[in-house]
Chains A and B, each alone.
Chain A
Amino acid sequence: MSEAFLQGIEKYAAETKATITQLRKGHTMVEVDQSKLKTFISRLVTDASIRQLSTITGLDLGQNIGIIYHFSHDRDTLHVKALIPKTQPTAESIVDIIPGAILYEMEIHDMLGITFSGNPWMDKKLLLPDTWPADLPPPLLKTSKPAEIRRRLGLEVEKK
């Protein structure tokens, strides 16, 4: 990652109290507080002109759910990570900054149950089946039980 570019990131990171780690060559991880996440990303897009959001990944970390925004810029990749507490699984949508994030946010909503406020399609399903019961927990949480979900979806058949 070029020096000038990294300096720009450092400036925004200082503004939002984020920590920067160099993972390996070309990969930079920025860990930012959940409340400052949208500010940081909007600074990236408008001021640093990093516009290509590759994807958003989510992971179950026990107490929290981590969401990582992966940005591509030339040959470099910038990972922006925020922790969302499981007790209040909501995050701010970045659809108004990056419209293409709408499907990524829907996927995280389906699989890990985070509600993105501001995403107009949050009431729709992307990957889950139409017959998904509303009271089932999101399938990719560590606490969810695949056999129980299969039974509720009618995929477990009693063997004679």
Chain B
Amino acid sequence: MRSLLEGVVKWARKRSPWVYHINASSCNGCDIELVASLTPRYDIERFGAVLVPSPRHADVLIVTGTVNAQTKDRLRRVYEQIPEPKHVIALGACAAAGGVFKGCYNAGQGIQDVIPVDMFIPGCPPRPEAIMYGVLKLLGEVK
């Protein structure tokens, strides 16, 4: 009975990944592309992905922008508020490796130094198709 319930929950989770988006000092380019992937033209919601306003309701955390001293601890706190099981997507070049800000005095070398990352979506900014491909690939990995 228990394993059956777990199977149902897993099935439901795979079909409705609720997404929380956090901007860790992004230039807003990736954020616009993420919003574009929610619009009717691309409509990521047909795969069940909904943008939620609270990290406590989320399954997937999408992070844009590189971390800096101001956002480092806040990003970690938001990550800790997401219930298990959780997945993190680093969206864009900045979140993956620092991007154009790499080497600046107040820029990190990617969010994987702060929180564990499951999926990197490269691009500056990544196209909505790339974001959808990444989210769907992540769902395929969800066991």
The secondary-structure label for the interface of chain B is loop
Given A157-B109, A157-B113: A131 in contact with B104 (beta carbons within 8 A): no
Judged by a CB distance under 8 angstroms, whether B108 is at the interface is yes
A-B contact count (CB 8 A): 39
Contacts of A146 in B (CB 8 A): 103-105
Judged by a CB distance under 8 angstroms, whether A57 is at the interface is no
B contact residues, total (Cβ < 8 Å): 13
Judged by a CB distance under 8 angstroms, whether A121 is at the interface is no
Contacts of A131 in B (CB 8 A): 69-70
0 or 1 for each of B49-83: is its CB under 8 Å from A? (1 = yes): 00000000000000000011110100000000000
Judged by a CB distance under 8 angstroms, whether B44 is at the interface is no
Contacts of A154 in B (CB 8 A): 69, 72
Given A129-B68, A155-B67: A144 in contact with B106 (beta carbons within 8 A): no
Are B104 and A129 in contact (CB-based, < 8 A)?
A: no
Inter-chain CA distance A157–B108, complex, in Å, is 9
Are A149 and B70 in contact (CB-based, < 8 A)?
A: no
Are B105 and A139 in contact (CB-based, < 8 A)?
A: yes
Given A154-B69, A155-B69: A129 in contact with B109 (beta carbons within 8 A): no
**A112: shortest Cβ distance to chain B, in Å?**
13
Contacts of B106 in A (CB 8 A): 128-129, 139, 149-150, 153, 155
Are A153 and B109 in contact (CB-based, < 8 A)?
A: no
- 10 further A-B contacts with Cβ under 8 Å, apart from A132-B69, A144-B105, A157-B108, are A131-B70, A139-B106, A146-B104, A149-B105, A149-B106, A150-B108, A153-B68, A154-B69, A155-B67, A155-B109
